[in-house]
Amino acid sequence: MLTLPLLNTNAFCMLLLTLAWNCKSDAQPMSSQFENLTVIAHRGASGSAPENTLASIKKAMETGANMIEIDVHLSKDDTVVLMHDSKVDRTTNGTGKVQELTLEELKKLDAGSWFNEKFSSEKIPTLEEVLKAINGKCKLLIEVKGKSKTYQGIEKQIVDLINKYNAKNWCIVQSFHTPYIENTYRLDSAIEVHKLIISPLRLFPFIYMDDGLRFGSIKKFTYAKSINPNHKAVSKKFIKKIHSQNQTVFCWTVNEKETAKKLIALGVDGIITNYPEKFLKK
């Protein structure tokens, strides 16, 4: 029979401390590699709750997202409301274009059951309701949808609401459509704006393509704080070019950790994701 030497109390305690330290140093929290990454909840926490609703916004705040991205349109009676598509068909029990429905008509729609029946009470929120709900707890990234001719005057509505709630330091306006961000900046240069693009050209990273298959020069957007492309189109060369203009790069839409790790290696500053909880400490 093998006899093991007995450890005195002090030696035993030292052994436990050593083992604990080794475990701590070898196993880092899953989110530590993302701690310098700006995590932006896409349409709220849209992987866990119906997109562009107060439920998804509340969930995003609970995860500790650095920023919440939403999409806005203008109703028939000129109220800024949340919706990604130009029509309500996909995410409500109604039909028709947002711009052809009044706020009263939009508020009658069920904006949650398509995702899960437990969200049947969710309604289409207004931008004002969202500003009240967030109240500076995190930053809000407002994407203006539709072409500039579709929603004339929406920029002033957004700027007025941001000023009404003293939200300049936590609200940002972005769009694929240049006139929206140009007009926002012209109306109030203290409000941060971002330029959305589909992709830069690989050989000429300062030339971009937008969602209308139009091309332009990124250099003219010196007033924009960030240039935000599809994550599949970025390169280290592009990111260096943008950083040389003292701008950041936030990529969309990133839902996998491995993709995020590759983007971090390229130098990306932030990601827009349906699952912010994947990249944040619990």
Active site residues: 42, 84
User: For residues 235 and 270, what is the distance between their CA atoms, to the nearest angstrom?
Assistant: 14
Report whether 64 contacts 40 (CB < 8 A): no
Report whether 188 contacts 159 (CB < 8 A): yes
Which value, to the nearest 10 degrees, does the dihedral of the CA atoms of residues 206, 234, 276, 196 take? 30
Report whether 252 contacts 231 (CB < 8 A): yes
CA distances in angstroms from 2 to 5, 6, 89, 108, listed in the order given: 10, 13, 75, 78
45 residue type, one letter:
A
